[in-house]
A and B are shown apart, each in its own frame.
Chain A
């Protein structure tokens, strides 16, 4: 197992190198000019050119790429063109809100989606199954920002139970931290809950038709034990796979959710950086997200061995 994990980590290196080259090239050829944004609307073309020179943006592609890669190999993601702060510091400032949002969403999703999927499969074809699946279609179809606005209107403005926006670090207390994340996590989780509930239902339906389930029933095992101990465990592999794939969905959704709820996370940092053409920040974030995604896939593979003892690497 350890050698497998080591090999997988080694295998991420060429993946990250390709991502780095791709991202750098894409930004190089993309239209837009950070110097023009910095200089402001009233700046003369000559001023814009001077700023471009000062930032080194008029150097040849290979020179820019080479110096960027060299810095990355030394653990330096560069400095933001706009804030003059290290990209590593900017990411460090923003990673906690995003990770918090993703973790809460994930927990919420698992707590709701898996039981819903199990129940839907158990009661397949009944009104309960149809209701759950209708909810899943509904959740899957609603854009995150619409759900966000509706939740903010009802629970923040109308009922005044929760705040509309913002983020409180976990270091300042668990409840203040949680209170700011409930609405965003529900908004972001809707799509995810719908997806996992549907996958769980499909996987469970297949497992519930297996002979060993019939045997379990014949032995007189309780319904809960059959569903959650025997069936769910055997249906877990596709569910875990989709949860892993869904991390990308969460990252994309976090961008919108963080904007709607004014959460100072990586999603908003990404949008701001793209709109301003803050190349070092965009490159740093994309590399980070790529690494996270590779890591999640690795964790999914490792999790297979925990849920299915037949799988060994």
Chain B
């Protein structure tokens, strides 16, 4: 081949490419109005809501899989797939009946055997499910529409467990899928929810497509969070992954997307200026910022060292670092439960209130025996929430006169390092930062982070008999008053033992084009009831 032949060839390929695309398939206005383009908080990298418990997976799964119960905006579990339930007087036998008309996306009816298999898989992975499994006598299908769960001891929070929105949710799958090992991924994505997952259009890291399930029979009640009638007013929901916030903001302004789940606070003023865009608080339950200390190693194996940090830390510093000067987005949190929810309490919260007392904090630290040894503070820099908190903590530790070993790394590394129980010098750690969804912190039900059960506790492995006693008291409570009393005692005990350090309560915004209506505030984006005009 000579040079001229090569150049001719290149030109030929160019012409071919040019003539190959004479026209563009344009969406009609009606079709465009029936497709909602949504930018989720993160990439949908897998789609098994039991195997992978990230919130983004739960949010997508809530469209595709239905659950027996659904939590409503008053935080009460309401019937969803279930038509009725009965519990014997001794509280040991629960009998559930499925409502008529339930179908999977492959056309098969939802049967009790599917529910039994789904609950069996879920109960291996979910903390509440594990509690039920531990006291389970049997979980069986009585007939095609009825199943029963027989327990060795009463479990008053059964309906909450089956309808809660914290991950993993008790989603119902066909039996063949639910028989997958809970520690391995499912291979197909068939649910009975109001939207079908278009697997063929899924480009992990870029887009996911959901299509309206024509045979879905919604409940008659008004939709409220995960409860009530899930009426789909749009035909397709396209999840578009845009990793860069500035690009997402520009795309929303340009009308290339319809709804952006969580714009960063810095860009909200720009969005507010655009007359075509609405901005509002996304989830009134917000988030709780946290740093955890390792209770296994000095100095934080001594409660005085942990209390010293609570005595000195300013939640305002943390919150301003996180959300800036928008005071509507944060509030101080002298406790562990989500503000404005029934169990919220400030019992024992004095240590986090008022003027910060560095002298008292330093005295406590000295009493704990701290002698300038390095404190390994592992901070993920690729997560804005952990990075901001980490910077404030580093400053706090320095002001306390502590020797900070600041390990700037990424979230993937924090995820593995925090599981190390070895001393900090041997790959372990003394502090890391995180945050908890407020929806998970409304009660001890799904609140792993508040547990004090030592080796089985969340990272940091706090051990507190008092905390565990009050968690049990809450689970056994038979009235809301008993629950509130248990939560008060639990809050006080968790602060006294400093299970972890709450750095404040913060909210985030969501933003959408004004031709979209029906966007509801809640712990996850709900697509039922949302419509879009051309």
A residues lining the B interface (CB < 8 Å): 31-34, 36-48, 50-51, 53-54, 80, 82-85, 90, 93-94, 149, 152-153, 156-157, 160, 163-166, 168, 170-177, 259-262, 264, 268-269, 271-272, 275-278, 306-307
Whether B205 lies near A272 (C-beta < 8 A) is yes
In whole angstroms, how far apart are the Cα atoms of A43 and B243 in the complex? 25
Complexed CA–CA distance, A45 and B460 (Å): 11
Residues of A within 8 A of B440 (CB): 42
Q: Indicate whether A42 sits within 8 Å of B167 (C-beta atoms), given known contacts A173-B22, A176-B24.
A: yes
Whether B46 and A177, one on each chain, are in contact in the complex, defined by CB atoms closer than 8 angstroms, is no
What are 24 A-B pairs at a CB distance below 8 A?
A31-B409, A31-B413, A32-B415, A33-B416, A36-B418, A36-B419, A42-B53, A42-B127, A42-B449, A51-B183, A82-B46, A83-B204, A166-B240, A166-B256, A170-B21, A174-B19, A175-B21, A262-B206, A271-B243, A272-B43, A272-B205, A275-B410, A278-B45, A306-B3
Residue from A40, A43, A262 with most neighbouring chain B CB atoms (10 Å): A262
Name the 8 nearest CB pairs between A and B, nearest first. A174-B21, A264-B206, A33-B416, A40-B53, A36-B415, A173-B21, A173-B24, A32-B412
Q: Does B328 interact with chain A (Cβ within 8 Å)?
A: no
CA distance A39 to B412 in the complex (A): 12
Q: Contacts A84-B46, A165-B256, A276-B45 known; A156 to B250 CB distance under 8 Å?
A: yes
Q: Are A33 and B254 in contact (CB under 8 A)?
A: no
Residue B23 is within 8 A (CB to CB) of chain A in the complex: yes
Measured in the bound complex, the distance between the Cα atoms of B263 and A32 in whole Å is 28
How many whole Å from B409's CB to the nearest CB in chain A?
7
B residues in contact (CB < 8 Å) with A: 2-3, 6, 17-25, 43, 45-46, 48, 51-54, 125, 127, 166-167, 181, 183-185, 187, 203-207, 240-244, 246-248, 250-251, 253-254, 256, 382, 409-413, 415-419, 434, 436, 440, 446, 448-449, 456, 458-459
* Contacting residues, chain B, for A33 (C-beta < 8 A): 412, 415-416, 419
| Contact call B183/A50, Cβ cutoff below 8 A | yes
**Contact A172-B242, Cβ < 8 Å, known A31-B416, A33-B416, A152-B250:** no
CB of B205 within 8 A of CB of A268, answer: yes
Whether the pair B250, A164 counts as a contact (CB closer than 8 A) is yes
Q: Which residues of B contact A82 (CB under 8 A)?
A: 45-46, 52, 204
Q: Could you say which of A85, A172, A173, A271 contacts B204, with CB atoms under 8 Å apart?
A: A85
B242 with A42: CB separation less than 8 A: no
Q: Give the residues in chain B near A80, CB-CB below 8 Å.
A: 204
Inter-chain CA distance A171–B22, complex, in Å, is 10
Task: Choose one: A41, A160, A165; the contact of B247 (CB below 8 Å).
Answer: A165
- Contact A31–B417 (Cβ < 8 Å): yes
Instruction: Decide: A259 and B17 in contact? CB cutoff 8 A.
Output: no
Contact between B46 and A36, CB atoms less than 8 A apart: no
Pair count A-B, CB < 8 A:
170
Once the chains are docked, how many angstroms separate the CA of A68 from the CA of B157?
47
Bound form: Cα–Cα A165–B255 in Å: 11
Instruction: Select which of A40, A44, A306 is within 8 A of B456 by beta carbon.
Output: A44
Q: Is the CB of A84 within 8 A of B187?
A: yes
Which residue of chain B has the shortest Cβ distance to A178 in the bound complex?
B21
Smallest distance from the beta carbon of B439 to chain A beta carbons, Å? 12
On whether the beta carbons of B458 and A44 are closer than 8 Å, the reply is yes
Q: 12 other contacts beyond A47-B183, A152-B250, A174-B17, with CB at 8 A cut-off?
A: A31-B409, A31-B417, A32-B416, A42-B458, A45-B419, A46-B456, A90-B204, A156-B254, A157-B254, A163-B254, A175-B24, A260-B246
Please tell me if the beta carbons of A160 and B419 are within 8 angstroms of each other in the complex. no
A261: B residues at CB distance < 8 A: 247
Quote the shortest CB–CB distance from A155 to chain B (angstroms). 11
B249 to chain A, nearest CB (A): 9
**Residue of B21, B45, B53, B187 touching A272 (CB-CB under 8 A):** B45
Min CB–CB distance A277 → chain B (angstroms): 5
Instruction: Give B347 Cβ to nearest chain A Cβ, in Å.
Output: 24
Find the B residue at minimum CB distance from A53: B183
- Taking a contact as CB atoms under 8 Å apart, the answer to whether B256 and A163 are in contact is yes
Contact partner of B52 among A38, A94, A177, A259, CB < 8 A?
A: A38
The answer for the CA separation of A152 and B250 in the assembled complex, in Å, is: 8
The answer to whether A260 touches B247, judged by C-beta atoms less than 8 angstroms apart, is: yes
Q: List chain B residues, Cβ under 8 A from A171.
A: 20-21
- In the complex, A51→B448 CA distance in Å? 19
A174 to B3, CA, bound (A): 27
Q: Are B51 and A38 in contact (CB under 8 A)?
A: yes
A85: chain B residues within 8 A (beta carbon): 204
> What CA separation (Å) do A260 and B449 show in the bound complex?
35
CB of B446 within 8 A of CB of A42, answer: yes
Nearest chain B CB to A206's CB is how many angstroms away?
22
Residue in A44, A177, A268 whose beta carbon sits within 8 Å of that of B206 in the complex: A268
Distance of A218 from chain B, by nearest CB (Å): 27
What residues of A have a CB within 8 angstroms of the CB of B6 in the complex? Answer: 306
A159 to chain B, nearest CB (A): 11
